Amino acid sequence: MTSPMTSPMTGPELHALVERLYPICRSITGDGVRATLEIIGEHVPLKITEVPTGTQVLDWTVPTEWNIRDAYVRDATGRRVIDFRESNLHVVGYSVPVSGTYTLEELRPRLHTLPEQPDLIPYRTSYYAETWGFCLRQETLDAMDDGPYEVLIDSTLRHGSLTIAEHVVPGQIEDEIVISCHTCHPSLANDNLAGIAVAVGLARRLERPRHTCRFLFMPGTIGAITWLALNRDRVDRIAHGLTLACAGDPGRLTYKRSRRGDAGIDRAVTHVLKDRPHDVVPFSPYGYDERQFCSPGFNLPFGSLTRTPYAGYPEYHTSGDNPEFVTPAALADTLETLWQVTRVLEGDRTLLNLSPYGEPQLGRRGLYGSLGGRSDTKQAQLAMLWVLNLSDGEHSLLDIARRADLPFMAVEEAARALQDAGLVKELA
């Protein structure tokens, strides 16, 4: 699945990608998304699809495209009290253009703060209702006088397009592993950019996989709905899917099961996580884009992998979700976990014992001798015996690893040795 020449991205390299993407103002459409994809395209080749405004996609319509150049609230001295150039979170996403003079009393309904976190800027959007507003620190609002204030939002809402990008690593079979991450958040390092960085890291590590591996970089909700609408005739190729988000905070890993609850992706992820600090939660129709792939009409085998889940950490959807909150070690750990999951999905297969009556003599085939002197001799022997016993055409290697409580790689290695010795064969 990978060659010795493939150099995995390190934690610091993943973090550097987060830092580079962080300043860009992204939304569900617009040039910020394209600038983000241009940088991703330096690491992996991308196929870009532009879907025009007004396109009907399932029960939704692709919205107008939003772009913003500048925004501020300026006091009588000319000082920018609220400045888009300082943080793109200062403007409510999809704000319509504004130019005028307002008192503080007139502005208050359009100013959003976090009184319980007075030093942080909240993240707010208004994608589908034409309005405008600013987000600011509570301590900034507390220091503002009655005004008047000069207000500018230099934005446009025009007929344009929604941008989706895909990176595909061709496999030996058409069945697909799909990794989805969202590109719609502005400067939020964990909820958005960490998932993008880990997806890029995995994509760069894959080479000649068995499954075709598809990576989707698209805005949340409307992006997944649009992709599904454009690909309804081929979604049955998705054998395993995973939405990736909040991938870089120092919390423990969390896996949210697919709607099916016991799909291959559910069994693979939970098996990999069993030796790591983690949480497993049931499916719910609230969250990231797994809920679109798991909607009842599609019911695809799609789970979600995060560290601390959405809304589960104080920095969530605030200016506190910055590159300092994301750690290279956590990014590397998420990538390694995802890599192990991919190895399980790639290596899982069903075998048939060709000598099922009694235990075959392993010694004269050199199988026991090949295990001598290993530090994991007992584990390797157990794996071999379990593979022989459960290779009845009904249990896959993952089933065997779970039943035996053994690492999947130990079971796969035993299966290869037994297959080379002519004791088992792979079923189609």
191 among the known binding-site residues?
A: yes
> HEC string of the chain?
CCCCCCCCCCHHHHHHHHHHHCCCCCCCCCHHHHHHHHHHCCCCCCEEEEEECCCEECCEECCCEEEEEEEEEECCCCCEEEECCCCHHHECECCCCEEEEECHHHHHHHEECCCCCCCCCECCECCCCCCCCEECCHHHHHCCCCCCEEEEEEEEEECCEEEEEEEEECCCCCCEEEEEEECCCCCCHHHHHHHHHHHHHHHHHCCCCCCEEEEEEECCCHHHHHHHHHCCCCHHHEEEEEEECCCCCCCCEEEECCCCCCCHHHHHHHHHHCCCCEEEECCCCCCCCHHHHCCCCCCCCEEEEECCCCCCCCCCCECCCCCCCCCHHHHHHHHHHHHHHHHHHHHCCEEEECCCCCCCCCHHHCCCHHHCCCCCHHHHHHHHHHHHHHCEEEEEHHHHHHHHCCCHHHHHHHHHHHHHCCCEEECC
211 among the known binding-site residues?
A: no
Q: pLDDT (tens digit, 9 = 90+) per residue, 329-348?
A: 999 999 999 999 999 999 99
Q: pLDDT (tens digit, 9 = 90+) per residue, 263-296?
A: 999 999 999 999 889 999 999 999 899 999 999 9
Q: pLDDT (tens digit, 9 = 90+) per residue, 28-76?
A: 999 999 999 999 999 999 999 999 999 999 999 999 999 999 999 999 9
Mean pLDDT for the chain overall? 93
| pTM higher than the cut 0.75 | yes
Of the listed ranges 15-29, 77-91, 269-283, 373-387, the least confidently predicted one is 373-387
Return the higher-pLDDT residue of 141 and 6. Answer: 141
All domains of the chain in start order, with CATH: 11-63+161-346 (3.40.630.10), 65-158 (3.50.30.90), 348-426 (1.10.10.10)
112 among the known binding-site residues?
A: no
Q: What is the pLDDT of residue 369?
A: 58
